[in-house]
Chain A
Amino acid sequence: MSDHDDDHHHPAPLSPVEVRARALEELLKEKGLIQEGFIDAVVSAYENDIGPMNGARVVARAWVDPAYKARLLADGTAAIAELGFGGPEGEHLVVVEDTPTVHNVVVCTLCSCYPWPVLGLPPNWYKSPPYRARMVREPRTLLREMGLDLPESVEIRVWDSSAEVRYMVLPARPAGTEGKSEAELAALVTRDAMIGTARL
């Protein structure tokens, strides 16, 4: 930030991290370790095609098709592949089901493991120390702070994705949605409900 009016035509200085990132990018291009256009292609896939709208389609299908739901809970990877979703961080997917008496929530205490093909890239809060530190130790308190106040009678199951499995929560279908189409149902499903920090 500058106080000087005569500076305002200059571009803002790059942050130290951006300077380092650009330095590494240039070097790797020079050395032929990265192809022109690769970065934009991979990032735009996650900006446009790979995100929670995919998981929402899986959830909506499970709500309307009991046989699909049974396959999804038995073998998440295979059932999710039926809808065309798979890829990095989705090689071994397990879907855990919410019920009136059980609430599931997903965390990665050691890093940031997350089911990319169905939820996209994780939000910053999921990767942050407070979430990772607290969700395994005081889930009820932390969920309440994040806006989800569960009755004491609801059992909370916290899934720490510490190995190769990536987890997605199958939220309960909201009451009063009986007449809705699969596409309308998918529009009701939120990312946070599939992580487990919200219910629908």
Chain B
Amino acid sequence: MNGVHDLGGMDGFGSVEVEANEPVVHDASERIVFGLVSALSGQRVTNVHAFRHAIERMDPAHYLRSPYYEHWLTALATLLVEKGLVTPAEIEARAGGGVPLSQPVRTDTVVLSASSAAEPRFAVGSAVVVRNLHPLGHTRCPRYVRGKRGVVTRADGQFRLPDVAAHADERCKQHAYNVRFAARELWGDAADGAAAVYVDLWESYLEAP
């Protein structure tokens, strides 16, 4: 989905605020949320792809104004409710009020569903162009590279395709590659000089130019 989480290249966020001597966790809520997510991702409650998509489905304004672990908390509560393991009423009774949940999944069909062939389609040095896909579900193809031309720098082997794994149990594996994009290809004349961005992309995000 073209969500607010897909931040690469956006303007207007200001400077990066660095906290000196930042602790690993700041408070009890961060401890609890990190611990709960760690516990439940090892079980059948969720996988990392469905979990990421549950974060992406947060109300955009809530996403931007809430701290990081609130994203995790919202996604976890959403998935537990969607899997029928808890009800919103049960959480709200204990929390003493409303608990924000992410928006529903908008699609149960996935655009890219084919496992790739055993042999990778592209080799190191291959010129590729990123397909102009805009799925309503989960994807790990950032918007800022869609339609852009790059060159493969690594072939990393086959991995579960997130676009499928976030929505279905079927095992769909595809080759993933690292692709180098010249900054000028991505950002035109406004690019910082002498820079390139390297992005890891699954095979069906790519095509030959």
Give the CA-CA distance A128 to B6 in the complex, in Å. Answer: 12
Q: Which residue of A lies closest to B10 (CB)?
A: A133
Query: A125 and B52 in contact (CB under 8 A), knowing A33-B85, A43-B25, A162-B200?
Result: no
B50 at the interface (CB under 8 A from A): no
A152 at the interface (CB under 8 A from B): yes
Inter-chain contact A24/B77, CB cutoff 8 Å: yes
Question: Which residues on the A side are within 8 Å of B35 (C-beta)?
Answer: 34, 38-40, 42-43
A 121-133 to B, binary, CB cutoff 8 A, 1 in contact else 0 = 1011101111111
Give the CA-CA distance A23 to B100 in the complex, in Å. Answer: 13
Q: Which residue of A lies closest to B93 (CB)?
A: A23
Instruction: Give the distance to chain A from B159, nearest Cβ to Cβ, in Å.
Output: 5
A158 at the interface (CB under 8 A from B): yes
Q: Which residue of B lies closest to A109 (CB)?
A: B8
Q: Which residue of A lies closest to B64 (CB)?
A: A129
Give the CA-CA distance A18 to B70 in the complex, in Å. Answer: 9
Select B200's contact among A25, A39, A131, A165, beta carbons within 8 Å. A165
Inter-chain contact B7/A33, CB cutoff 8 Å: no
Select A43's contact among B24, B68, B178, beta carbons within 8 Å. B24
Inter-chain contact A140/B192, CB cutoff 8 Å: yes
Question: Which residues on the A side are within 8 Å of B94 (C-beta)?
Answer: 22-23, 26-27
Instruction: Give the distance to chain B from A13, nearest Cβ to Cβ, in Å.
Output: 11
Inter-chain contact B36/A39, CB cutoff 8 Å: yes
A70 at the interface (CB under 8 A from B): no
Select B39's contact among A27, A34, A154, A164, beta carbons within 8 Å. A34
A138 at the interface (CB under 8 A from B): yes
- Interface majority SS (helix, strand, loop, mixed), chain B: mixed
B76 at the interface (CB under 8 A from A): yes
Instruction: Give the distance to chain A from B38, nearest Cβ to Cβ, in Å.
Output: 5
Give the CA-CA distance A120 to B95 in the complex, in Å. Answer: 31
Instruction: Give the distance to chain A from B184, nearest Cβ to Cβ, in Å.
Output: 12
Instruction: Give the distance to chain B from A47, nearest Cβ to Cβ, in Å.
Output: 5
Select A131's contact among B16, B31, B64, beta carbons within 8 Å. B16
Give the CA-CA distance A157 to B156 in the complex, in Å. Answer: 19
Inter-chain contact A130/B32, CB cutoff 8 Å: no
Select A133's contact among B8, B69, B192, beta carbons within 8 Å. B8
Besides A43-B31, A47-B24, A165-B178, 9 other A-B contacts (C-beta < 8 A): A20-B99, A21-B36, A22-B28, A31-B85, A33-B40, A136-B8, A156-B194, A158-B198, A163-B200
